[in-house]
Chain A
Amino acid sequence: MPKVPGLLKGLGVTLNTLKRTTIDGANTVQYPHEKEAPPVRARGVIALREDNCTSCMLCARSCPDWCIYIEGHKELAPPRRAGGKPRQVNKLDRFDIDYALCMYCGICVEVCPFDALFWSPEYEYSEPRIADLLHDKVKLGEWMETVPEAPALEAGAEKKGKK
């Protein structure tokens, strides 16, 4: 008997939610028809800026799942100044991320020393075939268009960087 008020209160909670949902609508979103904007810095998919990549392999080595595959070769580029020696550059042949393996930890993005990898909030890239989840460098490059502008630095962050 002493528990009856609590029991009635519990019934009241569900009934209130029923009323609220009827009047104000549900907390959920009817997904394929309407979409929720993902939060800023959402980890949807990793985009690649190929020009920045030096195929240093840091991302591939730091990946806990070994889901990044990089192949490259060395090439001689014309010298910067006239009369100089030709420069040696790393050319990227293959840069694949297997999203069937990726666990979205973001270590590759953190570790990249030349800002070649970025988070994009895009999340609708499911495939009927698991092999199609392997995104090559062309597809990863296309994701660059969806990468949002980097948020402004916090106050004081720049000063600290100068030191």
Chain B
Amino acid sequence: MNAALLAADLPYWAQALLRVLGGVVAVLLPAGTIVYVFLFKMMSFMQSRLGPMEAGPYGSMQLFAEVGKWLQKEDITPERADRFIFKIAPLVVLVSTFLLVAVVPFGPDAWFTNFEAGVFYMLAVSSVSVLGILIAGWASANKYSLLGGLRAAGQLIAYELPMVLAVIGVIIQAGTMNLQDIVFAQNAGSMFGWDGLGNPYILTQFVGFIIFMIAVQAELTQTPFDMPIAESELVSGYMTEYSGFRFLTFFIAEFATAGVFSLIASVLFLGGWGIPFAWFGWDTMDSVDNWMNVVGPLIMFTKMMLLSFIIMWVRFSYPRFREDQLQRFAWKVLVPVSLVNIMITAILKVAF
């Protein structure tokens, strides 16, 4: 690792400030883009309508209008609610998003943290949001919230497992849990001696990729798996009692997490920020040119948009699973398939 851009000669406080700013941008920018491009526009177009058109050209300022609207609303707490817990619940969910983005590498030196157990940390931190959702459902003192929270807990725990197991295939193949090294292994790798494309793991770990994306869909409680918020039966699930800024926090967390999971999926399966290193003759991490720190985030953003397009596309196309179908799908299909995937990957890893 050559002298990291941020670590170079800035004092500690400046580094910390830059990292916080970078984190906010890395969370809010994908969230805003996903909400406008996919939630507002793509969904409307898929339903043969235009979506918001009044605020700004083609409704591009609609997001600010919405945020302004939410900020003006009264912050209501139900009388019987557990006030303190009720108030911190959305923040817990949002914090898990911020913690998630901390391990995502955006370039050879453009990362927030770069530590060896990155994948492990990512999987651990992503389940913190379950706690936020569960306490939101419990603290609201509302039957719909409670049902939604419990459904969310059951679903998120069930789909955590296939997600972890799907990632293990990648870890076996890369031989490391460091996300930066996984990016390196994909871009510096070669397929049967041909290194023109590197070796993105979506090719070798296609089953893992599919399982991971399905699990992400469930973790985000996006539509085929939106039993926890099921608006036709549970009002709005665990979000029922939230209003104003706290609802906005849940909303941002939902779509920011979609963005961050897309980033992580692109790191694990699509080669992350890298372009095949053979194109420029790079062979180690240190030899990667510095301009990749600028191009890398753009590449990541493109891949994120691609993957969140798929997430949202599936969301707008499918009706929702029933609770028993949802659990059966996780435990009887995804878990066995991912176990078999791990087994085959391990055997092939040893064989080659």
Which residues from chain A sit less than 8 Å from chain B, CB to CB? Answer: 7, 10-11, 13-15, 17-18, 20-22, 26-28, 30
Contact = CB atoms under 8 A, between A and B. Distances in A.
Nearest to A32: B54
Contact of B45 (A7, A13, A17): A17
Interface of B: 42, 44-50, 53, 313-314, 316-318
Where chain A touches its partner, the secondary structure class is helix
A76 to B, nearest CB: 60
Given A17-B47, A18-B42, A18-B45, A30 B317 contact: no
Contact of B53 (A10, A27, A30): A30
Nearest to A10: B317
Given A13-B317, A17-B45, A21-B46, 11 more contacts: A7-B318, A10-B317, A10-B318, A15-B46, A15-B313, A18-B45, A18-B46, A21-B44, A21-B49, A26-B44, A26-B45
B337 to A, nearest CB: 10
A14 B48 contact: no
B317 A21 contact: no
A17 B48 contact: yes
A30 to B, nearest CB: 6
A70 B41 CA distance: 51
Contacts of B318: 7, 10
Given A11-B317, A14-B316, A14-B317, A22 B53 contact: no
Contacts of A13: 317
A152 B199 CA distance: 75
A26 B58 CA distance: 14
B48 A11 contact: no
Nearest to B310: A11
Contact of A14 (B46, B49, B50): B46
Contact of A26 (B42, B49, B313, B314): B49
Contacts of B313: 11, 14-15
